[in-house]
Amino acid sequence: MRRRRFGVLSWAVVLVVAAASGVWGGVASAGGDCAGNCVLGVLELTGPPPVLNPSLGAGTTSSLTFTVSNDTATAGSEGSARKGPLLVESAELTAPAGFAIQSATLVAPRKHDPPTAHVSVDTATTPYTYTVDLDDLDLAPGASISAILSVTASCAAVSGTWALSVQPAPTPHRQGFTVDPSSALAVGVTGACSLSFAADPTNAVVSTDITSEGFTPGGPPVEVEALDAAGDPLGGVEVTLSAQLGAGSLTGTTASTTGASGSSLGLAAFSPLSIGQTGYYTLEATAPAFVSGTSSMFQMTDAATPCTGNCSGSVSSSSVSVAVTVSNPGTGDTLSVGLGGFAYQCPDIFSPTGYYPTVTGAVGVDLWQPDGSLDPTQRSEQVTLTFPVTQPPPLWFFPFYQVCYASTEPFLGGTLASAAQSIPGYANSTYIGLLPFCPLFPTSNEAPCELSSYWWGGSAVVTFLGAPGDFWGSA
């Protein structure tokens, strides 16, 4: 944490020296802003050098030096020789909301009948209220005493002024004290606590466990790390996960608390987790007063097939059956096939609306490498869609059926789609349009393109060449 130096008034310099040297009693201060029976309180970031009006990082623990001085004049006051000196018997310092006093240790107290320091917590308030009590001080005019406080600023803490009150010793005059307005008891808060994914979720089949290893239900769990403003882990933080982008809901262990020690310090593990609908998703991690964290994007799909040699996969619903074949996939690749999770429309210049009907049961096919990334190599994927059609199209109707295609890469017949129709996570980089027909002997260079379409036995059958990572629907 970067510490800043501030200008310090002359009386404060005297107090700083007293705190650093551990002197008990006999430290004079000017106290120019208070008349009568006065006490002066100062909170500093423990040095060297000490810093007046310090700021603590959100969620961090720091050492503060609290100094209280009896600024009552030794002559001409209520504490005259006739009545005896006006002594400070005790001092109570209360932290603002969000600051927790972990401990308090007096600096060089007197050996005979020493004073005491005690931290108390009021658990009836939200958040808890922390107070440090310094008792049996017998602090004479002109004297001061210091205590070292270990203070934690919560992630919800804001800058505030600590409250100081004192009680006089039981002398005949029983006069009270006024806290000098020159007291420096303000403590600020900088930065913020944050959440980040230590182990991101990866691709999974719908309704199976989402882990940090793609298509592996028994893999390592998804993990979130809680950090203070200094980037150090925080234990005991309850973290909640929710699904974003896609239409499905996250179920399973959606809430977990970060560990308090050892290798689990600051880490919250989530297992099992699942989503029952296909599509692209991210997970969002939240906790009160923390900056939320967002995971990398992953996919929920209907089927996943490890590839050895040529690779095939299939999936079906009441409205369509899909069969996919990939030639020469990469070593260790996994073929995923999913239905739904994305809706879009292809332009139609003959329609009053300017579009074909919305594709709601889109087919998505992806080829994933072992590290969870898409296989970037251009490969031909032959896809056959079979869906029920009770009547054949008119003989004059050609080409019978066409494919409404969506891709993150430009293709012949595709136009840049609006953000509303973009593939989740690919706004302003989604292209949509009807597929052109393939040449007589197509290669992967011609993909994507339509190979054939026909009606047979109550079903329409469309076959085309596609590319990994693209979506398709009938039009």
Residues 87 and 147 in one domain: yes
Q: Over 70: is that where the pLDDT of 265 sits?
A: yes
Residues 296 and 325 in one domain: no
Structural domain that includes position 115:
10-190
Residues 180 and 208 in one domain: no
Domain final residue pick, 300, 325, 360: 300
Residues 127 and 167 in one domain: yes
User: Is position 456 within any domain?
Assistant: yes
Chain-centroid distance of CA 70 in Å reads: 47
> Beta strand pairing status for 298-301 and 204-205?
parallel
pTM as predicted? 0.81
Are 366 and 381 contacting, i.e. CB atoms less than 8 angstroms apart?
no
Q: Over 60: is that where the pLDDT of 160 sits?
A: yes
- CATH code for the domain in which residue 167 is found: 2.60.40.680
| Burial grade of 74 (CB within 10 A; 0-12, 13-18, 19 or more) | middle
Note the pLDDT tens digit of each residue in 274-287.
999 998 899 999 99
- CATH code for the domain in which residue 279 is found: 2.60.40.10
Residues 114 and 64 in one domain: yes
Residues 160 and 29 in one domain: yes
Domain final residue pick, 190, 223, 258: 190
Note the pLDDT tens digit of each residue in 15-37.
222 333 333 333 333 345 677 78
Residues 334 and 225 in one domain: no
Closest residue by Cα to residue 335 from 214, 434, 181: 214
Tell me 319's DSSP state: S
150 forms bridges with which residues in the sheet?
63, 103
Are 287 and 262 contacting, i.e. CB atoms less than 8 angstroms apart?
no
Residues 400 and 253 in one domain: no
Domain final residue pick, 190, 222, 245: 190
Residues 353 and 462 in one domain: yes
Q: Poorest-confidence range of 4-8, 149-153, 429-433, 459-463?
A: 4-8
Tell me 262's DSSP state: G
- Amino acid in the structure at residue 236: G
Residues 124 and 209 in one domain: no
CA distance linking residue 106 with residue 134, whole number of Å:
9
Q: Over 70: is that where the pLDDT of 80 sits?
A: no
189 forms bridges with which residues in the sheet?
56
CA distance linking residue 437 with residue 453, whole number of Å:
10
Phi, psi for residue 112 in degrees, rounded to 5: -85, 125
DSSP E strands, 369-412: 381-388, 403-407
Give the chain's domain count.
3
Residue 171: its pLDDT value, please?
Answer: 63
